Amino acid sequence: MTLTLLCLFAVGLILGFPIAVCLGLSSAITILVHDLPFTVVAQRSVNALDSTPLLAVPLFIFAAALLSATGVTNHLFELTRMIVGRLRGGVAQVNVLVSLIFSGMSGAALADIGALGGIQIKMMVEQGYLKRFAAGTTIAAATIGPIFPPSIPLIIFASAAEVSAVRALLAGVLPALIVTAALMVQIAIMARMGNLPRDSHRPTLPEFSRKLTISLPALLAPVLMILGLLSGVLGPTEVAGAIVVYSLIIGIVFYRTLTTQSFFTAARESVEASANILFIVGTAALFAWVLTIGGVPAMAGQWLLGVSTDPLMLLLILNVLLLMAGMFLESIAAILIIAPIVAPTLLMAGVPAEQLGVVFVLNLMIGLLTPPIGMSLYMVSIITRMEFGEVVRGVLPFYVPLFVALIVVTLFPGLSTWLPNLIMQ
């Protein structure tokens, strides 16, 4: 059964079918071939979507679309540019910091690139940076979003592994800051070695004060979201709903840039993005069920425990597995397929659920900028009209800080567990 499933899935990928279609079609055919009840196709797919934490996904996507429609990304970029832009390589540092701030609104790497990529790359090229370096910086910085709350991949992981979504989201705070610091150190080293340019703009104090005032409502969005999670009163879904309301208020009342047309545009984009993600969730759940019926989780668990029972060794093995999977699979699909198979074994071996979620997501985000599938690479290639190989060349230096951050998070579980344990004792 498992061989049938995997062969059909591979054929679908080779034929160029979308990942969700490959998952669902291979599962449905396998169920028919092996004479399993076909009603399970609808049952498993629908049950996978019947999850309260998953409601946060379309809400966070909608909130990010609304904030982007109000133009807050431009204000955030300009404010951060005023603070660090005069440093050598400063505009590249701005790129990373804005991605960290915007990650508190979007929760997705491709959303960060879509909202900020064009602006950031254009600004860096105008300041004298090589286009491939600008593209590489933008792609690497986008890995922060899916780790820092509100992380859509961490919510998906919590649902797939059946662990606390709130703890999973809080676990991403420190690792996201570590990734940010590692990228900024890399840029600082490259700035000294390559004599990267400084920002030509010298803001005055009144200009800075005015921009800070304008940007304050946007800066408060991630703060309010994290405080809501820390309070213990609001879960991910409630926080997501509150951020949507907050986005509407600042877009209509404060910025006054959210028009009826931009609202419906944001809504349409959110529906499309949510449908894509939730379609994958439903079909991946069916795929995972067929794997379970075939005994794959049990076999994987026996194999892993046969290799080692040491949590660190198991995490290192998982890193290799996820890095390879991230090269070929879309990140949400990879989480939904792999997490149910390996998570029970690693949790039983003593790996904290919070650390496991962060390791999962960080590995797969590195996969987004790793050929041959790397969606971030293709997205930036389309935005900038650069050759794919040139984009890859721009990303290469940033593998170093990303892998350093991954090793640190793998070796020190306290970086992922400290905040959830502190808040939710």
Question: Which of 203, 204, 198 is closest to 90 using CA atoms?
Answer: 198
Contact 297, 288 (CB under 8 A): no
Specify the pLDDT at position 201. 67
Specify the pLDDT at position 106. 46
Mean pLDDT value of segment 58-62? 82
What is the pLDDT confidence band of residue 85, given thresholds at 50, 70 and 90?
A: low
pLDDT digits (tens, 9 = 90+) for 349-360: 889 999 999 999
Instruction: Return the number of other C-beta atoms located less than 10 Å from residue 310's C-beta.
Output: 11
Residue 410 half-sphere exposure, CB side, CA atoms within 13 Å?
Answer: 22
Mean pLDDT of the chain: 81
pLDDT digits (tens, 9 = 90+) for 200-233: 667 777 877 888 888 888 778 777 777 777 776 7
Tell me the CA distances in angstroms from 387 to 205, 296, 382, 415, one per residue in order.
41, 40, 9, 38
Mean pLDDT value of segment 141-158? 84
Specify the pLDDT at position 414. 92
Residue 380 vs residue 262, higher pLDDT: 262
Specify the pLDDT at position 177. 92
- Collapse the DSSP code of 356 into the 3-class scheme (helix H, G, I; strand E, B; otherwise coil) and give the result: helix
Instruction: Quote the CA–CA distance of 338 and 324 in Å, as a whole number.
Output: 12
- Torsion, CA 352, CA 109, CA 24, CA 240, rounded to 10: 70
Burial 69-88 (b: 16+ CB within 10 A, else e): bbbbbebbbbbbbbbbbebb
Q: What are the sequence ranges of the domains in the chain?
A: 1-38, 52-423
